[in-house]
Structure 1
Amino acid sequence: MTESEAFSEIRIRPATPADLPAIGRLAAMLVRVHHEFDPDRFIPATPDTERGCASWLGSQLTTSSAIVLVAEHRGAVIGYSYAALEEQDWMVLRGPAGMIYDILVDPAHRGGGMGRLLLDATITELEMRGAPRVVLSTAARNESAQRLFARTGFRPTMIEMTRECTSRSPAPPL
């Protein structure tokens, strides 16, 4: 099968309630991967993670500022993205923006451009809704995602740093 034939079988579309079990499975995968990257920073998956993620993302399907897209291959959901329009945020010193919170393609379908298709569709949807810029975060160890984002024009703008609080490493007095 040629790459163009494979792409012809991919459909990027808005998610529906029927997609939520597959989205929950993929979102739980995202939770597990992040926890493996840094178990102190990222929450672990639990037996309820799939259901919880599906419920949360399901609540976003009817939120006017939110975008939940799926990548479908031969009728099966193989990826999803979750993004939203946000107003100016004084806390993070950011103007209005489209925020991409989640984007994931099932590992069995990676490497063939599916992530790029899903990312491009998400960016296009944010732009069509008036986003003046698109902002996302990526785990420091997720180098493959960082390469994808850089190829599509994203640039580093912030670095999150985490410090665990323990009795052995007290903060300096104020």
Structure 2
Amino acid sequence: MIATRSARLEDLPILLDFEQGVINFERPFDPTLKEEKISYYDIKVMILSDEVEVIVAVENNEVIGSGYARIEEVKPYLKHSKHAYLGFMFVKPSHRGRGVNKLVIEALYSWIKSKGITEVRLDVYADNPGAIKAYEKVGFKSLLINMRKSLK
């Protein structure tokens, strides 16, 4: 049985591996990423923060997935004053297709609601139809398209 819980500092080694998994998966979609080893997050700070919730999925005492929600201030012209931003969605390849990401997102939704937040946002690469489909399954809809052009 797969369960979710808040990440703990002792989860840091596996979460750092997951971060590299996210980065390696995203490299083909983003030619602007540096070639050397990079880091997206300060996971230790995220785990300790009151404004961020890092959730892990666990099966048989093994951490198999992750995700986070971060509370953010928004532009003053929006109807809401804060929203939650989701990221760090990762599931070990051997556990994909089993609804792990959905369980993580549902746990994040619970935390977000407990903070009084009603709007949730995330980013996904346009060339990643698998991720887009997975997020649509849990109720997300496209809002904006972020475009880029290199002038090299």
Does TM, scored on the shorter chain, surpass 0.5? yes
In terms of Rg, which structure is larger?
1
Residue 41 (1) aligns with residue 27 (2): no
Deviation at 1:94, TM superposition (A): 7.8
Instruction: Name stretches of at least 5 consecutive residues in structure 1 with no aligned partner.
Output: 1-8, 167-174
Matches within 5 A, 1:1-174: 9-38=1-30, 40-44=31-35, 46=37, 49=38, 52=39, 56-89=42-75, 95=80, 96-166=82-152
Identity %: 25
Write the letter of the residue equivalent to 1:42. Answer: L
Specify whether residues 25 and 165 from structure 1 end up closer, same or farther in structure 2 by C-alpha distance, changes over 3 A only: same
For structure 2, list consecutive stretches of 5 or more residues without a partner in the other structure.
Answer: none
CA offset at residue 93 of structure 1?
5.9
Query: Which amino acid letter does the alignment assign opposite residue 19 of structure 1?
Result: D
Distance verdict in 2 for CA 1:45–1:103, change over 3 Å? farther
TM-score by length of 1: 0.79
- In structure 1, what residue type is equivalent to 2:33? F
The amino acid of 1:79's aligned partner reads: G
Size of the aligned set, in residue pairs, is 151
Provide the rounded CA distance (Å) in 2 between the counterparts of 1:101 and 1:76. 21
Task: Give the equivalent residue in structure 2 for 1:4.
Answer: none
What is the RMSD computed on CA atoms of the aligned residues?
2.0
| Between structures 1 and 2, the one with greater strand share | 2
Greater relative contact order (Cα < 8 A, sep 6+): 2
Shift in CA distance, 128/36, structure 1 to aligned 2, threshold 3 Å: same
